[in-house]
Chains A and B, each alone.
Chain A
């Protein structure tokens, strides 16, 4: 896969902050499998790491000229854009349901990572293109299967 395609796996705020330099560093040709895997893990990290989200969202947040950041901007930094309480509940239900099913089949070690991964499209990855969701969720499930 090419760097431009893999870049789509990252959150929009991340792409706006680091996208250009990421492409300049990664080059334009097809990526070796090992490097592509590194980028896949990087994309998952960018979605779930509070550190990474803080710096990418902060660089997007408009600040009033010379003044302190508004309360709304401060609160929005800590929210996943567009995620409603209903999305959170759906994500939690998917996690609980999948965990229960896997535990019934004796797959205890996979219960958390698989249920978390399958719940991501409902909250953490809401608004992300379907292709990127499929690649991240599918790639993670395949990796979990291989590791197991």
Chain B
């Protein structure tokens, strides 16, 4: 993909280059939206909210990507557990993503009603 086109795609959808980690990344952002959590608490929350059980390999692959984009940040460790919190950039990205999903759901519902 041409660099300009790729840049535009990333601007429109910041999750575009997360590949197979885009789903887990969204779940993690969603899980941190109501306050900081450590890895185990995130997996429990995600399972309860979305019905998805993230394995540790996927969880930390997604956490590393979110950290490198500064969408989440670590807080001081508690014992061996490392809590993370959403940054303001992470909140913006999550809000944008949820708006996209809401728009998509609206279109889907309207089309189902038509048919």
B68 with A55: CB separation less than 8 A? yes
With A46-B61, A52-B65: A22-B56 Cβ-Cβ less than 8 Å: yes
User: B107 interface residue, CB < 8 Å from A?
Assistant: no
Query: A35 at the A/B interface (Cβ < 8 Å)?
Result: yes
How far is B56's CA from A39's CA once the two chains are assembled, in angstroms? 6
A25 pairs with B40, CB closer than 8 A: yes
| Cβ of A74 under 8 Å from chain B | no
Question: Mind listing 23 A-B residue pairs with CB under 8 Å?
Answer: A18-B63, A18-B82, A21-B39, A23-B80, A24-B80, A25-B56, A25-B59, A25-B60, A34-B55, A35-B55, A38-B57, A38-B58, A39-B56, A42-B58, A42-B61, A45-B61, A49-B64, A49-B65, A51-B65, A52-B64, A54-B68, A55-B67, A56-B64
Interface residue? A26 (CB, 8 A): yes
Nearest chain A CB to B74's CB is how many angstroms away?
A: 9
A40–B58 Cα gap in the complex (Å)? 10
- Tell me whether A25 and B39 are in contact (CB under 8 A): yes
Q: Which residues of A contact B77 (CB under 8 A)?
A: 20-21
List B residues at the A interface (Cβ < 8 Å).
38-40, 43, 55-61, 63-65, 67-68, 77, 79-82
Look across to chain A and name the residue whose beta carbon is closest to the beta carbon of B84: A21
7 more CB-based (< 8 A) A-B contacts, given A22-B56, A25-B60, A42-B57: A20-B77, A21-B77, A25-B59, A35-B56, A42-B56, A49-B64, A55-B64
B81 near A21 (CB under 8 angstroms)? yes
Which secondary structure characterizes the binding site on chain A? helix
Q: Closest chain A residue to B79 by CB distance? A: A24
CB distance from A30 to the nearest CB of B (A): 14
A interface size (C-beta, 8 A): 26
Q: Which residues of A contact B63 (CB under 8 A)?
A: 18
Residues of B within 8 Å of A42, CB to CB, are 55-58, 60-61
> How far is A94 from B61 in the complex, measured between Cα atoms in Å?
28
Q: With a 10 A CB-CB cut-off, give which of A41, A49, A51 has the most chain B CB atoms.
A: A51
